[in-house]
Amino acid sequence: MNPISSEESKIPVPRHLAVIMDGNGRWAKQRGQLRVFGHKEGTKATKRLVKSCGKLGIEFLTIYVFSSENWQRPSFEVNTLMRLLVEKLKDEIDELDQENVRLRALGDLSRLPTSTRQELEWGMSKTSTNTGLQLMLALSYGGRQEIVDATRSLAEKVSRGLIKPEEINESVFSSHLYLPDVPDPELLIRTGGDMRISNYLLWQIAYTELYVTPTLWPDFDETELLKALESFGHRQRRFGKVL
């Protein structure tokens, strides 16, 4: 991978980039391979993305690793994905730590296999004091469930008299999401060409710019990222107002 040039580095970048990494299965099928082969190849694209975001100065990167709906996939594929996650955490965490990347996660982590959850917790602990790129893994994650969980937490506080219903506003609600200190993403990239959100960060992407590319995730590289960022740089973000 060629380093980002000085001209490319002038492209406006979002503070927070969210990515739906789609197309691993189709990439494998095109090559006559099992879907898990595409997932393994996709981890290389993920590593490229993390490195590029670090070089560009992006502060937050959230990637959709495994959705709450993905538990419905065949057990062989699910088990392979969980094992692959453990392997990559073991292989990559030292390098992430050296590059000052902080690893975090959001989702219903209680559903993860014990070995996967322990490895994830170890990685997050090891990098917890790093001050560079914050890499958020959306694992066993669903946007609707996050909203339900936030609502349940607020309802409990109301029932205990800790907060009044009339005191609940958007800011208070946001403070009960999984990672309340993380700003909303300015740009969401989806690979694979499908034009849908797939239950991803539903509250946070209210005014996020969307960029969909037909490129399948294993083929997503720095050139594709720069195309997305260039498109983002030409957007007018009005937030419902007139500029």
Distance separating alpha carbons of residues 145 and 139, to the nearest angstrom: 12
| CB-based contact 236:190 (threshold 8 Å) | no
Q: What are phi and psi of 20, to 5 degrees?
A: -100, 110
| CB-based contact 205:228 (threshold 8 Å) | no
Q: What are phi and psi of 61, to 5 degrees?
A: -135, 120
Provide the β-strand partners of residue 20.
190
Distance separating alpha carbons of residues 32 and 211, to the nearest angstrom: 29
Provide the β-strand partners of residue 63.
19, 137
Question: Which helix (H) or strand (E) is 210 found in, with range?
Answer: strand 209-212
Decide if 24 is catalytic: no
Decide if 130 is catalytic: no
Tokens encoding 178: 């999984």
One of 70, 108, 199, 219 is an active-site residue; which one? 70
Tokens encoding 180: 């309340």
Q: Which residues are catalytic?
A: 22, 70
